[in-house]
Structure 1
Amino acid sequence: MKLRDVAHSRTGDKGNTSNISVIAYRAEDYPLICKLVTEERVQMQLAGLNPTRVTRYELPKLGALNFVIAGALGGGVTRSLALDAHGKALSSILLDMDLEP
């Protein structure tokens, strides 16, 4: 099972930092997402971007996790040569995470 099977995502950016939210479709899937979508796993899933730090914030009343990923945007929107300097496609990469234990 992929993360996209149980959640959707939104992204944002500020400088060289990406912000990715993971929002459960159903409240009963939120505990599974909390258990399996850790800072370490997000860091590994986005390893090709060489993020310097991943910080996770839990929003249980929304059934969501928010990840702040420092150093993920190649210097930021005005400095990056990346095709997606804003990091909007990063949510697709994250949602491709396997949730099989």
Structure 2
Amino acid sequence: MKVYSFRTNKEDKDIEELLESLKEDKSQYIKNALRFYRDFGAKIAKIEATLEKLEHSGIQAQIPPQTLEHEQDAGSETSDDERVLLESLEDILSL
């Protein structure tokens, strides 16, 4: 079985912080990240290109008006979930 390794550079502080924060096996994390990139990298790039085309065309997302009753039922949990989802999508698109 081959062994792969890499070194971080001065500008890789974010990578160092992430790897240092991992309590579990770092190699498994890196393998999972590589598999994710292999499986979804092209799809993410395609989504990003589509979003850029939409932004340049002037199309804006239409958000349907929410009723007060729906907002009360959903509570702040939904807004937290939406915030986490949006942050995750932004992270993925910034790859």
The two structures have a TM-score, normalised by structure 1, of 0.25
Q: Which has the larger radius of gyration?
A: 2
Give me the TM-score of the superposition, normalised by structure 2.
0.26
The structure that is strand-richer by fraction is 1
Q: Which has a greater percent of helix?
A: 2
Higher relative contact order (CA 8 A, sep 6+): 1
